[in-house]
Amino acid sequence: MRCPFLREAHVQSCQASPFRKQIVRSGGAAGERCGTAAWRECSVARELTEEHPSAGTCPFHSESLVQYCSTAPVTKFIPWSDQAFSRCGSESHRFCDLYLALARTPAPAAIPGEPAPATADADGIPVPGWLWFASSHTWLDIASDGVCHIGVDAFLARTLGGIDRVQFVTSKGLERPAAVLTVRDVDITVSFPNPVFITAVNGALRADPARLARDPYGLGWLFEGIVRDRTVVGNGTPKIADGLLRGSAATAWMRREGLRLRALAEAASERISGVRLAADGGLPAPGLIRTLPHEEALRLSHLLLSTSTDEERFS
Regarding 93 and contact with ligand SF4 (CB under 6 A), the answer is yes
Looking at 86-94, 176-184, 224-232, 233-241, which segment touches ligand SF4 (CB under 6 A)?
Answer: 86-94
What track of x and - describes contact with ligand SF4 for positions 31 through 70 (by CB under 6 A)? --------------------------------------x-
Looking at 26-34, 95-103, 184-192, 302-310, which segment touches ligand SF4 (CB under 6 A)?
Answer: 95-103
Pick one of 9, 16, 30, 98: the residue that binds ligand SF4 (CB under 6 A): 98
Beta carbon nearer to ligand SF4, 72 or 249: 72
Looking at 2-10, 157-165, 191-199, 213-221, which segment touches ligand SF4 (CB under 6 A)?
Answer: 2-10
Q: Alpha carbon of 120 to those of 110, 157, 158, 216, 217: distances in Å?
A: 16, 17, 16, 15, 13
Beta carbon nearer to ligand SF4, 96 or 125: 96
Q: Alpha carbon of 72 to those of 99, 101, 103: distances in Å?
A: 10, 11, 14
Regarding 3 and contact with ligand SF4 (CB under 6 A), the answer is yes
Regarding 88 and contact with ligand SF4 (CB under 6 A), the answer is yes
For residue 189, which of 313, 43, 306, 63 has the smallest C-alpha distance? 306
Beta carbon nearer to ligand SF4, 31 or 106: 106
For residue 149, which of 158, 159, 141 has the smallest C-alpha distance? 141
145 close to 227: Cβ distance less than 8 angstroms? no
What track of x and - describes contact with ligand SF4 for positions 99 through 138 (by CB under 6 A)? x---------------------------------------
With CB under 6 A, what is the number of residues at the site for ligand SF4? 12
Regarding 5 and contact with ligand SF4 (CB under 6 A), the answer is yes
Looking at 43-51, 96-104, 134-142, 159-167, which segment touches ligand SF4 (CB under 6 A)?
Answer: 96-104
Regarding 87 and contact with ligand SF4 (CB under 6 A), the answer is yes
Regarding 96 and contact with ligand SF4 (CB under 6 A), the answer is yes
Beta carbon nearer to ligand SF4, 5 or 197: 5
| Measured distance between the N- and C-terminal CA atoms of the chain, rounded to whole angstroms | 37
Report phi then psi at 147, rounded to 5: -70, 135
Regarding 6 and contact with ligand SF4 (CB under 6 A), the answer is yes
**Site residues (vs ligand SF4, CB under 6 A):** 3, 5-6, 69, 71-72, 87-88, 93, 96, 98-99
